[in-house]
Structure 1
Amino acid sequence: MWETAIEGAIATIASNIDRFGDSYPHVGEGSRYTRIENNDWTNGFWSGLLWLGYEYSGDERLREAARKTTASFRQRLKDNVVLDHHDIGFLYSLSAKAEWIVEGSETAKELALAAADVMMKRWRKAGGYFQAWGPEGDPVEGGRIIIDCLLNLPLLYWASEQTGNPVYKEAAKAQAEKSRRYLVRGDDSSYHTFFFDQRTGEPVGGATHQGFGNGSTWTRGQAWGIYGFALSYRYTRDPLFLETSKRMAVYFLEHLPEDGVVYWDFHLPEEQPKYRDSSASAIAAAGLVELLSHLDQKDTAFKDLRDGLQYTMEALVSKYSTNGDGTEEGLLKHGSYHVRGGLAPDDYMIWGDYFYLEALLRLERGIDGYWYERNRERD
């Protein structure tokens, strides 16, 4: 099942090279991807898909298209195009760092390290956190952290490994610890976002931006937590991060709908639209692969987590993938971006496509994503 799904996905990606040209896919609109310039937080996922496709297939067209995106990200950094946010890791881990991991390109490595320096500008020393959005001191966005940031931290952990400078890792670990303490609730559900006093760093309270409500659980946020805390464990070996990832994964799987793919929020009132978010399930699946790689098979949760991963992936492949369509641009149907904001419910999500293929390749071929350096010799 996995191999057939991978072959279909890579055929779609290859077809999209000509369709997209120099533009980047963003979210679906009528079962076609909207095209944007390299100016959004989502652009790196197209790069990541190209690198994954090349690693699996060896298709030179995918390689050249992937390298072209790295050049685009180099220009974006030079021109400082919409980089005043914390999602630098999503952009440069899947483009420049991916090229370094796959090909050992020193220029790509230097670009990724420069991007890590840009992200460090988001560090707020007084509060001890990375501010997600807005300029320092912003009356609305100042003091905000969000759970998505956990997937941006690997760029900083990696930067410490490559440079020997502990500052990146220390900040990343502090952010992960603050996220563990304040974004994860006592019942293992999660807030999307949390605010701190900008001057003192004192906690103010949890909220949401894309979930149904402040007290609900946005499913994509829960998925970011599963994968993000597992990655922080990989880099720090702090057992609290592994335990938190495991607890969040158990919560996610215990709240799955019967067909195995989550709605956009776990706590939707009856009158709310029941849109799915296949991208949340794809992120969670990739996170489960990472989490399971660190757990002893004797762990009491291991079998349930492994079975949950299998159930989720079978559901995505058999019920939500576009495999065999022939004219599709996306890999997964029924994703949701920002339902309350009216943005792209029930369509393609480029990040969902990326994590779906990453999970498939990890399961079938042992090809990891681009969140950490792989232990292998270069050609």
Structure 2
Amino acid sequence: MSWAEKALSEVLERAGTVEADAGGRWPLYADSVSGRWTTTARGSWAGGFWAGLLWLRAIMSGDPADRATAIDRTASLDPWIEADTGTRGLIFWYGTAFGVATGDAPAATLRDRAAHACLDAYVPELGLVPWGGAFGGPRELARVDGLPGLPRLLRLAGPGGAEAARTQLDLQFGLTAGGRRLHPAWQALPDGTWHPHPDPPPGWSRTAAWLSLAVADTGDGARRRKLLAHPEVAARFAAGSPAVPLVRPGGLPDTSAAAIEAVAALKLAARADQDEAARLRDRAATVLRELVSAHLRDGRLLDGCYDLNHGAATSHELVWGDFFLAVGLAVLTAAIDPFVC
């Protein structure tokens, strides 16, 4: 068993233990020392990652009981369909993708309903599904962390959904990567223009990660080249660059951002030419090996930062960190196709 296979097995075993102890609540983040989880009743914006992690566990184990657990968790995402949030792409794409890929009809139905709900929430005047008001703050925001999964979900809603997906991706990419610095959040103004929003701030650890993941999923070669040419993105994928980005310059590390970047690099590699593919795959392998050797303990990816500005879970195990680490390891070991989720 390789180091990657061993680490994947540890993460999935940990997920099974946590699920058995969760009592139907949704894990969000865990203290790095005690391992104690902070949970939510409905899963928040990260519930799809927990359901997705349980699906990956079921795929790898082949155990019908594990599959039944994943099916039940996915069904429990249903209340988020009508929630006013742009994070429905995160919730419903990653929460249903493995189920759909393995023939689970309820997961496919849930994903289809979510796709049409997202299209209903699309605002043509803004050119996107806005961030929404479910988590407080201004609702007419374009935030890069609401982008992954959403274009793929919208495309399932027919021609109108495909057009909305293209427009949303064009808008968010242009706003986020239009200058030399990546700006993760923008607010719509009454005159139809966009103004940078301070939260999350420029320099945020997950900006390049979320943007790269969304672009990797498009298969658009021109956009991929433009993404990889951006100075901040190029720095993150460069050989020799620190494997784990800081939440902000001089701040704490964020292993969850590194795990997202590794998955994005593997997806970008799958549709790149031979030399670029080798470079990106080597970068992903380097990042994953560093995460496993320096930050993984008993199946727990430590040192992730949820929200530094508000002092929330600043050095913790994060559910999406575990999810993307597991997906990255599964892709690296050829256990799954890069685009199954």
- SS of the residue aligned with 2:39? strand
Q: Match for 2:228: what amino acid?
A: K
How big is the shift at 1:369?
Answer: 6.2
Deviations 1:26-63 (A, max 9, x none): 11235321121115111111100011111112123321
Structure 2: runs of 5+ lacking an equivalent: none
CA 1:370–1:107 in 2, change beyond 3 Å: closer, same or farther? Answer: farther
Q: Is the 8 A contact 1:143 1:195 kept in 2?
A: yes
Give the Cα–Cα distance (whole angstroms) in 2 for the partners of residues 254 and 217 of structure 1.
17
- SS of the residue aligned with 2:98? helix
Give the Cα–Cα distance (whole angstroms) in 2 for the partners of residues 201 and 229 of structure 1.
25
Task: Give the structure 2 partner of residue 305 of structure 1.
Answer: 280
How big is the shift at 1:154?
Answer: 4.0
Give the Cα–Cα distance (whole angstroms) in 2 for the partners of residues 56 and 71 of structure 1.
21
Deviations 1:337-373 (A, max 9, x none): 110111110001100110000000001024146765x
Task: Give the structure 2 partner of residue 318 of structure 1.
Answer: 293
Task: Select 1:28's aligned residue among 27, 30, 35.
Answer: 30
Task: Give the structure 2 partner of residue 2 of structure 1.
Answer: 4
Task: Give the structure 2 partner of residue 196 of structure 1.
Answer: 188
Q: Is the 8 A contact 1:50 1:66 kept in 2?
A: yes
Give the Cα–Cα distance (whole angstroms) in 2 for the partners of residues 371 and 217 of structure 1.
30
Task: Give the structure 2 partner of residue 173 of structure 1.
Answer: 166
Task: Give the structure 1 partner of residue 87 of structure 2.
Answer: 87
Give the Cα–Cα distance (whole angstroms) in 2 for the partners of residues 97 and 314 of structure 1.
26
Task: Give the structure 2 partner of residue 152 of structure 1.
Answer: 149
Question: 5 Å matches for 1:193-232?
Answer: 193-198=185-190, 200-203=191-194, 205-211=195-201, 216-232=202-218
> 1:241 and 2:242 equivalent?
no
Q: Is the 8 A contact 2:115 2:154 kept in 1?
A: no
CA 1:184–1:371 in 2, change beyond 3 Å: closer, same or farther? Answer: farther
Give the Cα–Cα distance (whole angstroms) in 2 for the partners of residues 254 and 50 of structure 1.
32
Task: Select 1:264's aligned residue among 247, 272, 280.
Answer: 247
CA 1:10–1:134 in 2, change beyond 3 Å: closer, same or farther? Answer: closer
- SS of the residue aligned with 1:336? coil
CA 1:183–1:35 in 2, change beyond 3 Å: closer, same or farther? Answer: same
> 1:339 and 2:338 equivalent?
no
> 1:118 and 2:117 equivalent?
yes
- SS of the residue aligned with 1:365? coil
Give the Cα–Cα distance (whole angstroms) in 2 for the partners of residues 39 and 279 of structure 1.
18
| Matched residue count | 334
How big is the shift at 1:97?
Answer: 3.9
Farther-moved stretch of structure 1 (140-149 vs 38-47): 140-149
Q: Is the 8 A contact 1:101 1:370 kept in 2?
A: no
Structure 1: runs of 5+ lacking an equivalent: 269-273, 373-379
Q: Is the 8 A contact 2:14 2:300 kept in 1?
A: yes
Percent of matched pairs sharing the same residue: 24
TM-score under structure 2 length normalisation? 0.90
Deviations 1:309-330 (A, max 9, x none): 22211100100112xx3xxxx6
CA 1:371–1:264 in 2, change beyond 3 Å: closer, same or farther? Answer: farther
TM-score under structure 1 length normalisation? 0.81
Q: Match for 1:207: what amino acid?
A: H
CA 1:255–1:26 in 2, change beyond 3 Å: closer, same or farther? Answer: farther
How big is the shift at 1:70?
Answer: 2.0
Task: Give the structure 2 partner of residue 70 of structure 1.
Answer: 74
Give the Cα–Cα distance (whole angstroms) in 2 for the partners of residues 45 and 370 of structure 1.
16
Give the Cα–Cα distance (whole angstroms) in 2 for the partners of residues 306 and 96 of structure 1.
26
Q: In angstroms, what is the RMSD of aligned CA positions?
A: 2.4
Task: Give the structure 2 partner of residue 48 of structure 1.
Answer: 52
- SS of the residue aligned with 2:301? coil
Q: Match for 1:141: what amino acid?
A: P
Q: Is the 8 A contact 1:227 1:283 kept in 2?
A: yes
CA 1:77–1:283 in 2, change beyond 3 Å: closer, same or farther? Answer: closer
